[in-house]
Amino acid sequence: EIVLTQSPGTLSLSPGERATLSCRASQSISNNYLAWYQQKPGQAPRLLIYLTSNRATGIPDRFSGSGSGTDFTLTISGLEPEDFAVYYCLHYDTSRGTFGQGTKVDIK
């Protein structure tokens, strides 16, 4: 079973700054089956990125995903006030899914 480790646990930044979130897998992920989600308090998560680097419908282009093998990154190029939230990565395949433990992006 693949384990996903996200870092840092908390990222304290100011609006306008660049956020770089890491998701590291315990084994190589095939087919780039890695997604990213944003969750705000009291809400369901929202899909941001799928297949490592594809933005979901309606997601602003300040969000981008990259990576391969065991190392994946979500980058937010300039934080907007609505971007302060918790972010999760998800590895998925035809049989199961595994989430990382999350990275909280809060206002510095």
Residues in contact with another protein by CB under 8 A are 1, 33, 35, 37, 39, 44-47, 50-51, 56, 88, 90, 92-102
The span from the CA of 60 to the CA of 42, in Å, is: 22
Closer of 14 and 94 to another protein (Cβ):
94
Q: Which of 70, 57, 66, 82 is nearest to 20 (CA)?
A: 66
**Residue 31 three-state SS:** helix
Q: Which is nearer to another protein, 5 or 12 (CB)?
A: 5
Q: Which is nearer to another protein, 71 or 93 (CB)?
A: 93
Tokens 């369901």 locate to 44
Minimum distance, C-beta of residue 68 to another protein, in the bound complex (Å): 17
Residue 17 to residue 65: CA distance in whole angstroms = 17
- Whether the Cβ atoms of residue 34 and residue 72 lie closer than 8 Å to each other: yes
Least separation in angstroms between CB 57 and another protein: 9
Minimum separation from the CB atom of position 44 to another protein (A): 4
Amino acid at 91: H
Residue closer to another protein, measured from CB, 15 or 51 = 51
Nearest distance from residue 15's CB to another protein, in Å? 25
